Structure 1
Amino acid sequence: MEKDSHLEKAAIRGAVWTMLFTGGLLSVVQVMVGPPLLLAERLLPGGGWVQVVLAALFSGWLYTQMFERAGRAVWRRRIWLLFSVVFFLQLLLGIYADSVFLMSGKLHFPIPGLIPAGVFYRGGMSFMPFLFLITILLSGGAWCSQLCYFGVWDNLAAGKSGKRQGIKPAARARIRWTVLVLFIFVAAGLRLFDIPAIYATVIAAFAGIAGVGIIVFVSHRRNIAVHCSSYCPAGTLVSYLKYVSPWRFRMNDRCVRCMACVRVCRYDALPKESVLKGRPAVNCTLCGDCLAACRHGALEYRFGRLSPLAAERLWLGTTLVLFTCFLSIARV
């Protein structure tokens, strides 16, 4: 009973801090950003404050639901799917109903993988690449496991636990860097030679269709998120840039090489060779799905001098704050 009471108090404390940070960040957006980013403020003057309060309460409630490891993976996929559905619903409303549902009132391709290429095509930074980099700094790999409105479909296509047909690390690295360089090269060429926008649009559409094809025909068959872990240029940058973030995910000396974690990882970040080496592969997104599968407590988050448990709870709160802010703001 005492242990249960302690866990309940810890969950409540975490939920309160999550609500405070979510409400604080969205309040800054409500006060400082113009024209309004919060949809409720666009639809009704003052409505943004109602959205801030509801979003803060929602983030705190999510923390209590995801506090225990056992159901966290299921909840992660549920809320990630919710975010994607809300995002694409607003896109459809923006196209067919009113441009108020679009971030800037202008339409562009909703393909996260084009974020790196967009910098070279436009010849400079914009809001989305800046947000992308800040997200990596604050949460490491969370972009690829909870914050990308496209990646959730790849995660779902990867299926449930079971046999996963992974890709050899060397082959994956070659594929990833080839695709990233190709995207950047094409984007820079389009700008350098002042190619008409219609051609850039066709190329972007082709890249998006190719990504969907990989999700439908490759990820589903291999039972791993091939689009996110091997094709998406944004995912490639996340995999390597996440090391600028203080978050780490490690195996400790309690690992007995039972390989239970291998069967649940949808990103192929825990192949047998990585487990034997005692560390996840570079494509680990820090999603934490493997935590509940490990009966030996061998997998843990690290953050500075915090204990692994404190780091895990801080990670959960940080990610949920970012998720709720994305849910409230992100649109095309």
Structure 2
Amino acid sequence: MTKLQKMCDSAADASSEASSVSPMRAGWLTVPIVGLLVLAAHFLRFGDMWLAVAIVATAGLCLTRLGWARLVCSVALFVGSFLWVKTGIDFVQIRMAVGQPWMRLAVIMASICAFSLLGAWLLSTEKAAARFYKGSAIAISQAAVFVLTCGGLWLCRIMPKNMTLLLADRFLPGSGAVEIFGIAVYAAWLCGLLLNKKTQRKARSYAWAFFSFVFFGQLALGLLGFMVFLMTGSLHLPVPALIVAGPLFRGSGFFMLILFTVSVLLVGPAWCSHLCYIGAWDDRMGRVRKGKTGCLPVWAPRLRIVLAVIVFATALGMGLSGVSVIVAVWLAAILGLIGVASMLCLSRRMKMMVHCSAFCPLGVMSNLLGKISPWRLRFSDACTKCNACASVCRYNAITPERLELGKPAFSCSLCRDCTAVCRHGAAEVRFLGITSPKLTNLFVVLVTSLHAIFLGVARM
């Protein structure tokens, strides 16, 4: 009876808390919602219907209980207040230039700005925090991912002068704003999963596979004749090693290499475990069979380094000696097919990512450039050498010897699978040697934002 009574009391308390923040008593939400709707009406008036739709959808986030939604709406209203200031100044200057009355207009625009700021302030109060309680502990991280994804995709949308990067804009001109909103919501949701130890391993694997599916799905549609799904219509082989080997051979076309380098500097070798369109295949092959991962021979990681030197030196040599493009393409295709064969035959059998750990030349570059990045995986003194981390590492980076040294091997890709299974919290992602939950959150924010941005623009 005592246990039953406690359960009843707990249920009553939960019901009381829910009623205290019920929608019927949340009339204050009208202010931020109306503020966002007025902002949407402003863009609709000036002909940007799709941006207005995206802002209306943002206002819809106020009807959820998500902690990050509250912060996103607050930021939108705060940024919108600057728009009202600028618009008000422009309108007043026009009125003054033509000699018309402007004082009433200035008061109206100032009132709208104040209303927007009021909405932003209301969303920052404790009452708002109590209502938007879901995921409140990681709300800042999820909101940051939303904002970074929106900002990154918006820059990708407006910077190219002669190219439309977002697919939505290609089908319905102007609708890219809605696509950006949708991808940003997905990114915030994924960030929550990646920050939860219970879900981070599966979430990373499935999100990575989803990214690869979208990438190659668009390529397949393009090859079938739907050219709108291709980036420029000028195709190249989707072999990761060509990101480095291609510019070495051609002496030009450094965009992908620059993008790869910047990504690795931001998140270290996590490029290999979150952003590589081919690596997701190796990951799926390594998960076909259940059980502990295998262990590669000592010489296998060294072989990957040798292969990288051979591939990149060959590409440079062929470019300098004037070898035809057709020969280079055939050699690249053979390299790619050997890589796929290693996934199908070896990764499946050994339950680990053999292609990424012992073959991929670009993986070597990722690990090498990752040494410049401030992010590291380390094992603290709390490690009991239980080898739980080694049993899930698919990059051949964790062995008993590496645990004794307190750090993984060169092939570590910062996938963080080991941190999910470590019961003692000994496996840590560190920034410049410093570890804290906030820094771990920062790492996840960066890698999730890059994943979402790549999802929106990465096409052949």
Deviation at 1:288?
0.5
Q: Is the 8 A contact 1:300 1:309 kept in 2?
A: no
Query: How far apart in 2 are the matches of 1:7 and 1:55?
Result: 20
Distance 2:226 2:338 in 1: 29
Whole-angstrom CA distance in 1 between matches of 2:382 and 2:192: 28
**1:259-281 residue CA offsets vs partner (Å, 9 max, x unmatched):** 11110111111112111221111
Question: Please, which runs of 5 or more residues in structure 2 have no aligned partner?
Answer: 1-13, 15-129
SS of residue in 1 equivalent to 2:389:
helix
Q: Relative contact order (alpha carbons < 8 A, sep ≥ 6): 1 or 2 greater?
A: 1
Note the alpha carbon deviations across 1:1-48, whole angstroms, 9 max, x for none. Answer: 9xxx99932221211111011101111111212311111112221021
- Superposition RMSD on alpha carbons, in Å? 1.8
2:455 to 313, 327, 330: 327
Q: Higher mean Cα deviation, 305-314 or 118-127?
A: 305-314
Contact preservation (8 Å) 1:250, 1:301: yes
Which residue does 1:263 correspond to in 2?
Answer: 391
Contact 1:230-1:236 within 8 A present in 2 as well: no
Secondary structure of 2:145's match?
A: helix
* Correspondence list, 1:1-332, <5 A: 8-34=135-161, 35-159=163-287, 162-169=291-298, 171-304=299-432, 307-332=435-460
Q: CA separation in 2, counterparts of 1:125 and 1:168?
A: 37
Which moved further from structure 2: 274-283 or 183-192? 183-192
User: How far 1:304 moved relative to its partner?
Assistant: 3.7
Kindly tell me: are residues 164 and 57 of structure 1, through their superposed partners in 2, closer, same or farther at Cα, counting changes over 3 Å? Answer: closer
Once the two structures are TM-superposed, the CA of residue 305 in structure 1 deviates from its matched residue by 7.3
Range with greater deviation from structure 2 (30-39 or 237-246): 30-39
- Is there any run of 5+ residues in structure 1 with no aligned partner, and where? none
Output the CA distance in 2 between the equivalents of 1:86 and 1:310: 31
AA in 2 matched with 1:13:
I
Q: Deviations over 1:276-330 (max 9, x none)?
A: 2211111111111111211111111111475421111111111110000010000
Please say if residues 301 and 411 of structure 2, whose CA atoms lie closer than 8 Å, have aligned partners that are also in contact.
no
2: distance between equivalents of 1:43 and 1:125? Answer: 28
Q: How many aligned residue pairs are there?
A: 328
**Aligned residue identity for 1:47:** S
The alpha carbon displacement at 1:242 in A equals 0.3
With normalisation by structure 2, the TM-score equals: 0.68
What's the CA shift string for 1:109-140, capped at 9, x where partnerless?
A: 01112222112111135211111101100110
- Alpha carbons of 1:305 and 1:199: their partners in 2 closer, same or farther (altered >3 Å)? closer
Inter-partner Cα distance in structure 2 for 1:72 and 1:165: 22
Max Rg structure: 2
Change over 3 Å in CA distance of 1:302–1:7 after alignment to 2: farther
Q: CA deviation at 1:208?
A: 0.6
Structure 1 length normalisation: TM-score? Answer: 0.94
Q: Which amino acid aligns with 1:322?
A: L
Percent of aligned pairs with the same amino acid: 38
Cα 1:240–1:12 shift into 2, 3 Å = same
Q: For the Cα contact (< 8 Å) 2:428–2:435, is it kept in 1?
A: no
Deviation readout 1:73-123 (Å, 9 max, x if unpaired): 000011111111111110011111222211121111011122221121111
Q: Residue type of the partner of 1:232?
A: C
Q: Greater shift after overlay, 111-120 or 185-194?
A: 185-194
